[in-house]
Structure 1
């Protein structure tokens, strides 16, 4: 097995700066968040399995992406 790391990166918000809320009601949010998690490649299969199990809990298919903004409060807690 190769040794190394995998970096998973995600963003939330909008990087647009022409119009910003709350000054402009139709503008971009005030915040843009960029985050990541670094995992060892040796942990990848366990991580993939954990996500598959979590997706079953909230009735998502394996190929579907998880978007917390689309989950109910109950689904967020269960996930």
Structure 2
């Protein structure tokens, strides 16, 4: 980190599933964007950062998954999913999901948001909602501990687990 910047107290692993397209949306349109846009975050205290890889390895081992180093819930057999969820529930993590069913937004435009000159105004809006919830949790959690100046560092995706898989199925 830059000189004078405190180390983060939390890491927020962020991922998405789907796409932010609103012009055409499946299944209404034969060709179009995905029906859902989901953004998720798994928040963990920085002191547990070194434990993450071992947690995932232990969950994979306990659920009987071999020859994989990453955890993707959607690829697991149903009986393994139950084991994974049970194990994740025991960990000191917090999961968040913003899920938008885009069928009712098909063709919607927000001219005010589009003035920011971003092709991803809808994605950015959903990400803002997610980050508001994550930062509020971190603030409230740190306040309960009597801590101040606790920073959360957002991290996009992870090499060993998919937050969208973890969060979507924990909640």
Q: Which residue of 2 aligns with 1:70?
A: 75
| Residue in structure 2 matched with residue 46 of structure 1 by the alignment | 51
SS of equivalent to 1:49: helix
1: CA distance, partners of 2:23 / 2:64: 37
Where 1:19 maps in the other structure, the secondary structure is coil
- Provide the aligned length of Structure 1 versus Structure 2: 77
**Are the aligned partners of 1:58 and 1:78 in contact in 2 as well (CA < 8 Å)?**
no
* Higher normalized contact order (CA 8 Å, seq sep 6+, divided by chain length): 2
Are 1:59 and 2:90 an aligned pair?
no
| Structure 2: runs of 5+ lacking an equivalent | 1-6, 85-171
Structure exhibiting the larger radius of gyration computed from Cα positions: 2
Give unpaired runs (5+ residues) of structure 1.
Answer: none
Aligned partner of 2:29 in structure 1 is 24
